[in-house]
Amino acid sequence: MSRQPVIIDCDPGHDDAIAILLALSHPQLEVKAITTVHGNQTLPKVTDNALRLLTAIGRTDIPVAAGCARPLVAAPVTAPEIHGESGLDGPNMPEPAFRPLDEHAVNTIIRILRTSDRKVTLIPTGPLTNIAAALLKAPDIMTNIEHIYLMGGAIHEGNKTPVAEFNIYVDPHAAKVVFTSGLPITMIGLDVTHQARMGEEEIARLRAMDRPVAHLVADLITFFMGTYRRVFGFDYAPLHDAVAVAQAIAPGIVATRRLHVDVETTSPLTFGQTIVDLYGVTGREPNANVGFRLDRDAFLEMLMAAIATY
Ligand code: RIB
Ligand code: CA
C-alpha cells in the first residue's frame, strides 16, 4: 500500500521534535518535508533545531525549509520560558550536518501540493502562519490537501492566557484563515494533549532501551517535565504535538466531534481563544473534528514502538 504523503510544519520545540520522530518512524507516512515557522523560538533557532534533530537520527535526506519569521498581523511571541533559549534546551544536539532548502517554506508547501500525485496531509504543530500564507498565496493547493491535523487551540483550556493556547494565540489571524478555509481539519487541542502525559515511568522505559535516540527523547521529556513542573505545577510533560501525528497515523486514537470552531482576533481579554460551539447554539456549520479524548495507552505504545525503531 502506498504511503500517505505528509508535511510537518513545526516550531521545534521539545514536543515538535518527538512528533517528528514519531512521523519519520511510521511506515504509513511519507514525510515529504519539514517546514519551520516562528513560535517556540525565533525562526533561525527552530530551523536550526530541526536540522540538528534530523542530523542526530541520520535523516539528512529529509528536506527542511524555513518559513515565516513572524505572524501575519500580531507581534512575534516566543516561549523561552517553556523550551529554553535555544528552543530545544536539555539534550546535547549535534551540529547540523546539512542546510535548509533555499526555498521559502510557503513555496515548499505550495510546490509539494501542486506536484504530488496523491493528496497530501498537513500536520502543523506550531503557529499556522505558513499554512495560512500558502492558502492565501495559492488557493489552488486546497484541492490536493487530504487533511489538516493541527495541534492548537482548546475547548476549555489555555496555556498562554487563561483561554488561549500558544499556537493559536501567537497567530490567531492565520488560524482564522485555516478554520474558515473549508478544508478537512482535525483540531488537537489542549483538552486532549494534556492527556498525553509522559512522566518518570516513561522516562525510565526510554532509558531502559539504552539506545541513543531513546536517551535523546528521555532528555527532551526530562527538560519538558521540569518546565511543566515549574510553570504549570504538572508532574508530567504533555506531548502536545505528537498527538497530532498519532491521529494522522491512527484516526480514532483521539475521539473527536464535528463542531464549529471560530477564533478570537480582536478582544484583548480573549485574543487567540478558539471558540468551540459545543452545543451548536450558533447554528454555524461544523468546520472541524475537535479532539476530546485520547486513548493514552494506545498513544504511549505507539510512541514507544516508534522510538524503539531508531
Ligand atoms: O500549546 C502547545 C503548543 O505550543 C505545542 O505545539 C508546543 O510545541 C508549542 O508550540
Ligand atoms: Ca509546537
Q: What is the structure's pLDDT at 99? A: 98
User: Which one of the listed residues 14, 26, 38, 240 is annotated catalytic?
Assistant: 240
Q: What is the C-alpha separation between 100 and 193, in angstroms, rounded?
A: 30
Closest-CA residue to 119 (of 183, 55, 75, 166): 183
**Ligand 1 within 6 A of CB of 265:** no
CATH architecture of 4-308: Alpha-Beta Complex (3.90)
**Ligand 1 within 6 A of CB of 36:** no
φ, ψ for residue 164 (rounded to 5)? -125, 135
Atom of ligand 1 nearest to the CA of 166: 1
**pTM for this prediction:** 0.98
Closest-CA residue to 114 (of 145, 136, 68): 145
User: Which residue ranges of the chain lie beneath pLDDT 70?
Assistant: none
Sequence spans of domains, the chain: 4-308
User: H/E element holding 4?
Assistant: strand 4-10
**Non-local CB neighbours of 268 within 8 Å, separated by 6+ positions:** none
Active site residue 240: yes
Closest-CA residue to 307 (of 7, 4, 20, 99): 20
Atom of ligand 1 nearest to the CA of 151: 6
Do the Cβ atoms of 292 and 255 come closer than 8 Å?
yes
**Non-local CB neighbours of 25 within 8 Å, separated by 6+ positions:** 306, 307, 309, 310
**Ligand 1 within 6 A of CB of 40:** yes
